[in-house]
Amino acid sequence: MHEIAIWLHSSEVPYLWVARGEASNLQETCGEMGLVVPWCDQLRVLCHSSVAGFLTHCGWNSTLEAIYSGVPMLTFPLLIDQISNSALIVEDLKIGLKVKEEIRVESMVGRDHIARVVRRLMGGDEGIQMHERAKELQRSCQRAIEKDGSTFTNLNAFRDDLLSISKS
């Protein structure tokens, strides 16, 4: 955890870090650039206009919340479905960057590499394109959950199917 704090600090980008149980120990290393807390309402934070990127292990709920919020991601998958979720984010949706290419636990990532990846996401043409694409996906999500949007329509159709089955 201490090494992560160092590489986040070296990115020179302000950040919020949720570190359960270790928040008080990490704040000193993070300095003024970082705010370390033991818990937060993740969706509420991601929806805040000042959030420009999200470092995630790529759990499905976190992935959906970031897409819904229009926030590009730095992916750091650890196992199972997180790996395919990372591929979706980076390769298919093109709204993120991988923090490391190899998933093996023993492969380490240096702080200079992390700082470069964070800066790539936050600026330059590549970062701008990812931010624009993330906002496009956010608008698509919002349309889907509106009345008569695809999510609204499909959930109602599913409900109707369940009701018709239960009446049979």
CA distance linking residue 91 with residue 93, whole number of Å: 6
CA distance linking residue 92 with residue 57, whole number of Å: 17
Q: Count CB atoms within 10 A of the CB of residue 161.
A: 10
Average pLDDT over residues 107-115: 74
The answer to whether 1 and 19 have CB atoms below 8 angstroms apart is yes
In 3D space, the residue among 54, 47, 44 whose CA is nearest the CA of residue 16 turns out to be 54
CA distance linking residue 16 with residue 33, whole number of Å: 9
Average pLDDT over residues 45-63: 96
pLDDT-derived band at 106 (thresholds 50, 70, 90) equals low
| Average pLDDT across the chain, whole number | 89
In 3D space, the residue among 37, 15, 33 whose CA is nearest the CA of residue 24 turns out to be 37
Average pLDDT over residues 151-157: 93
Specify the CATH number for 41-167; select among 3.90.105.10, 3.40.50.2000, 3.90.1280.10, 3.90.660.10: 3.40.50.2000
Distances (CA, A) of 62 to 45, 52, 77: 12, 15, 12
